[in-house]
Amino acid sequence: MKHFDAGGRGLAGSRKTEIQVEFFGKVSIDWLGKKWYFLAFSMIFSVAGVVSMGWHWQHIGSPVPLGVDFRGGTQVQVQFKQAVDVDQIRKAADAAGIRDASIVPYDEASKHEVLISLPEQTNESALDTGRQQIDNALRAQFGASFDVLNVQVVGPTVGHQLQKKAALATLYSLLGMLIYLWIRFQLIYGVAAVVACFHDTLITVGAFALTGQEMSLTVIAAILTLVGYSMNDTIVVFDRIRENITLLRKDTLTEIVNKSINQTLSRTVLTSGLTFLTVLALFLFGGEVLHGFSLALVIGIIIGTYSSIFIAAPMLVAYQQWRGKKSVPGGAASSSSSNQGRRYKAPAKA
């Protein structure tokens, strides 16, 4: 929907025209009135993800299946010139003395690609030996009817270092955003936004645990991307709340937050919707190599938009209501709740 607003003519006779594109008209949805339903939704998926991560930790020693980037080992991507049964490849590996190899079809069936992975080796030199053993076993069984497309060899020391650096990168990004929002708004704004981002990360990683998808460096890059995207979406809502607190002094904070979310709803749907369509296309047509990366983005875009409305905003209101109760002797909140819109001080603009 397009709205055209033509201003009056100036001294020079020019006409100023402003064009605003909106997806929705004037909406009045009580978002915070439905917060408990969505908080229950978040709780269910968060608990399910944590339980799944605990199960993985007990069985494989990590909360999610790790890619070769993190666990170390040898991974060889092979393309055959014709369809080959996985059992044939496994028999060839067994005949060559290769034990505990993971052999799975890769990408589309028409491409005849197979991913062969060897477990982590404590001896760094054994990694390159494993790659050569795979090549020799395949040539003994299939001759020259295959091509090696990609080889990844990561030692256990490097894999553990990458795990540590990935975790630190995520924590440092959340800490940096907390400090930024503390400076730009107030500390509670930063805490609410970081809690929302942590919620997004937890559900995304939990989804990988539930579906058995491997965590790789590209997935970590996607998680850091969605953290920034979610934070940007939250800041847009918070900025409108800050403006409306100054303009709508007679409204309660709950009413102000609801109006702010409704006013930014068109922007949220348009930007998030277009971004979602892009990453969905990447997920559907990007191939197996980008599968984990695009899956994290698909989940993250949905959850990041959701958390800006149903996690960060309710947390801000809950804190102000709690602070209002503490400011009244005896904990009475009858007048505090109705007048918090008048008493609440808007954070200074950066």
CATH number, domain with residue 210? 1.20.1640.10
Structurally, the chain folds into a number of domains equal to 2
Asked if residue 286 and residue 215 are part of one domain, the reply reads: yes
pLDDT digits (tens, 9 = 90+) for 313-347: 898 888 888 877 755 444 433 333 444 444 455 55
Asked if residue 199 and residue 89 are part of one domain, the reply reads: no
Asked if residue 102 and residue 53 are part of one domain, the reply reads: no
Domain finish residue from 134, 154, 174? 154
Residue 286 lies in a domain: yes
Task: Return the pLDDT at 341.
Answer: 41
Q: Which of 101-115, 137-151, 331-345 has the lowest mean pLDDT?
A: 331-345
- Can you tell me the distance from the alpha carbon of 83 to that of 108, in angstroms, rounded to the nearest whole number? 12
Domain coverage including residue 149: 73-154
CATH number, domain with residue 86? 3.30.70.3400
Residue 208 lies in a domain: yes
User: What value does the mean pLDDT of the chain take?
Assistant: 78
Task: Return the pLDDT at 67.
Answer: 77
Is residue 103 very low, low, confident or very high in pLDDT (cuts 50, 70, 90)?
A: confident
In this model, does residue 203 exceed pLDDT 90?
Answer: yes
Residue 279 lies in a domain: yes
pLDDT digits (tens, 9 = 90+) for 245-290: 888 888 888 899 999 998 888 888 888 888 899 999 999 888 777 8
In this model, does residue 227 exceed pLDDT 70?
Answer: yes
Q: Exposed, middle or buried, 33 (CB in 10 Å: 0-12/13-18/19+)?
A: exposed
Task: Return the pLDDT at 210.
Answer: 92
Strand order in the sheet with 102-106: 102-106, 113-118, 73-80, 146-154
Domain finish residue from 94, 125, 154? 154
Mean pLDDT of the 190-208 span: 90
Is residue 151 very low, low, confident or very high in pLDDT (cuts 50, 70, 90)?
A: confident
Asked if residue 270 and residue 133 are part of one domain, the reply reads: no
Q: Which of 135-139, 155-159, 286-290 has the lowest mean pLDDT?
A: 155-159
Task: Return the pLDDT at 13.
Answer: 43
Mean pLDDT of the 14-18 span: 43
With tokens 């800041």, the residue in question is 235
Mean pLDDT of the 290-300 span: 90
Residue 20 lies in a domain: no
Distance linking the first and last C-alpha atoms of the chain: 33
Asked if residue 256 and residue 117 are part of one domain, the reply reads: no
With tokens 């299939």, the residue in question is 142
- Residues shown for the chain: 350
Asked if residue 171 and residue 141 are part of one domain, the reply reads: no
Residue 180 lies in a domain: yes
- Can you tell me the distance from the alpha carbon of 302 to that of 104, in angstroms, rounded to the nearest whole number? 30
What is the pTM (predicted TM-score) of this model? 0.72
Asked if residue 295 and residue 170 are part of one domain, the reply reads: yes
Task: Return the pLDDT at 125.
Answer: 59
| Strand, coil or helix: 216 | coil
Asked if residue 241 and residue 168 are part of one domain, the reply reads: yes
Three-state SS string over 319-346 comes to HHHHHHHHHCHHHCCHHHHHHHHHHCCC
Asked if residue 289 and residue 194 are part of one domain, the reply reads: yes
The better pLDDT of the pair 329, 26 is held by 26
Domain finish residue from 121, 154, 187? 154
Mean pLDDT of the 189-196 span: 88
Mean pLDDT of the 82-101 span: 80
Asked if residue 301 and residue 263 are part of one domain, the reply reads: yes
Asked if residue 216 and residue 176 are part of one domain, the reply reads: yes
Task: Return the pLDDT at 277.
Answer: 93
Task: Return the pLDDT at 59.
Answer: 86
Asked if residue 148 and residue 119 are part of one domain, the reply reads: yes
Residue 24 lies in a domain: no
pLDDT digits (tens, 9 = 90+) for 29-58: 888 888 888 889 899 999 999 999 999 998
Residue 10 lies in a domain: no
Q: Which of 279-283, 307-311, 346-350 has the lowest mean pLDDT?
A: 346-350
Counting residues of the chain whose pLDDT is more than 70, the rounded percentage is 80
Residue 184 lies in a domain: yes
| Strand, coil or helix: 52 | helix
